[in-house]
């Protein structure tokens, strides 16, 4: 499969990343070899196989739905790049 720098730029946009021209070309070549390697899976007929998305072999453990305070506001905000002391602050959107 051929992966162009333009295609890499489209994927980067979806992933909320931006890359310079050199990086787009470098990644295009690397993506091509990695994805070609992954194509080896097409050697296998898996039409009747149920996908395995998680190795968990037990049913989900549920707890009672009881509200509890797990963290203080100051602690939650303590790592934010910008706050007003009550909320996370981002640039004006509208």
Shortest distance, position 24 Cβ to other proteins, whole Å: 11
Q: Which is nearer to other proteins, 67 or 75 (CB)?
A: 75
Q: Does residue 63 contact residue 57 with C-beta atoms inside 8 Å?
A: no
Shortest distance, position 62 Cβ to other proteins, whole Å: 8
- Exposure b/e, 19-32, CB count within 10 A at least 16 = b: beeeebeebbeebb
- Of 89, 71, 93, nearest to 80 by C-alpha is 89
Chain contacts with other proteins (rule: CB under 8 A): 8, 11-12, 14-19, 23, 27, 30-31, 33-35, 37-38, 40-42, 44, 46, 49-58, 60-61, 63, 71, 75-76, 78-82, 88, 90-91, 93
């Amino acid at each position: 499969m051929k992966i162009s720098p333009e295609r890499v730029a489209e994927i980067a946009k979806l992933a909320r990343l931006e890359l310079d021209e050199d990086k787009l070309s470098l990644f295009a070549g690397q993506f091509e070899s990695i994805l070609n390697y992954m194509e080896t899976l097409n050697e296998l007929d898996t039409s009747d196989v149920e996908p395995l998305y998680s190795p968990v072999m037990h049913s989900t453990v549920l707890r009672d739905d009881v509200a509890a305070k797990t963290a203080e506001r100051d602690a939650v905000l303590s790592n934010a790049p910008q706050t007003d002391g009550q909320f996370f602050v981002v640039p004006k959107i509208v």
